[in-house]
Amino acid sequence: MKAVKRLHGFLCSHPFFLFSTLLFIAFSFYFLRPGLVGADGYGYMVEICEKTDIIKEFNAFNFVVEWFPCSFLAAKSVLFFLSLVSGYFIIKIATLFSPNNGWRASYLVFASPLFLLEAVKFENDQFAYPIMFASLYLFFKGRRFLALALLVFAGMFWQGAIYYLIGFGLQWLALGLIELALFSIPKTPFTWTTILGNIIRTKTIMEDASFTALKYWFILTVGIIGIFREKKILPMAAFTIIIGVASLKLAPLALPFLVIGMVKLLE
């Protein structure tokens, strides 16, 4: 019994150890796999290995592609590191709102297969997630301007970061008013029409599917109930859940909030 209490105390004090152990076990199977997961990852590897310039859009990931080694092992190792950082900040966010039970995020994040399914894809999104989750942590910690700077950096990898910016605007009235005016300017890179259009796209590919997120969030879907116990995150949490239900591509953005909801529910 004492051993169990000591183990519980250790895990409460060192949640990142538990998370990294579970992540390593999951990734060990991926390291043994001969190739990558997802067709897009192979497309990027073609660009990396053959320098064929198949990537047309401008983003920071192009710089990564230009200098990245032609190696599946290197790609998987980087994905493992990015997932470690993402998990670290999800745990930190959960601990912000539940100092005593936030450590449970170290295993609750795996209650959704979506975390691992996204973690193993070698795409530009995966480079943006840890920066976005770090931005989210800083935002709720009160370091709002630093959070915005990080979010801009994340947006250089993946334009989906714009939805966290909108979420910040729902939590911060001054920013929300600025966004309301800024995104109403026609013929700019981001308008309310394009932002909405990227949520409700053609639905011809799996990542655009609506309501599929409920399946991939799996047990974490129940965390929606727990979110109502933490009113401070409710506006942004509700927004990310709604857009995640509308488009599977955006479903990972709601994971930190669903984890917090599960932690609050367990409390």
pLDDT by residue for the chain (267 residues), tens only, comes to 666 667 666 667 789 999 999 999 999 999 998 889 988 899 888 888 887 665 555 678 888 888 899 999 999 999 999 999 999 999 999 999 999 999 999 999 999 999 999 999 999 999 999 999 999 999 999 999 999 999 999 999 999 999 999 999 999 999 999 999 998 988 888 888 888 888 876 555 667 678 889 999 999 999 999 999 899 999 999 999 999 999 999 999 999 999 999 999 998
- Which residues have C-beta within 8 Å of that of residue 144, sequence separation ≥ 6? 138, 168, 172
Share in percent of the chain as helix, strand, coil (round to 5): 80, 0, 20
- Which residues have C-beta within 8 Å of that of residue 165, sequence separation ≥ 6? 148, 151, 155, 179
DSSP letter assigned to residue 186: T
- Position 53 scores a pLDDT of 60
Residue 199, SS3 per DSSP: helix
Backbone angles phi, psi at 260, to 5 degrees: -60, -45
Verdict on whether the full-model pTM lies above 0.75: yes
> Using CA atoms, how far apart are residues 154 and 150, in angstroms rounded to an integer?
6
Whose CA is closest to 239, among 251, 248, 221?
A: 251
How many domains does the chain fold into? 1
Question: Do 235 and 170 meet the contact criterion of CB atoms below 8 Å apart?
Answer: yes
Question: What is the span of the domain harbouring residue 59?
Answer: 2-266
> Using CA atoms, how far apart are residues 246 and 209, in angstroms rounded to an integer?
7
> Using CA atoms, how far apart are residues 214 and 244, in angstroms rounded to an integer?
9
In the numeric block, which tokens belong to residue 94? 């959960």
- Position 60 scores a pLDDT of 85
Question: Do 179 and 186 meet the contact criterion of CB atoms below 8 Å apart?
Answer: no
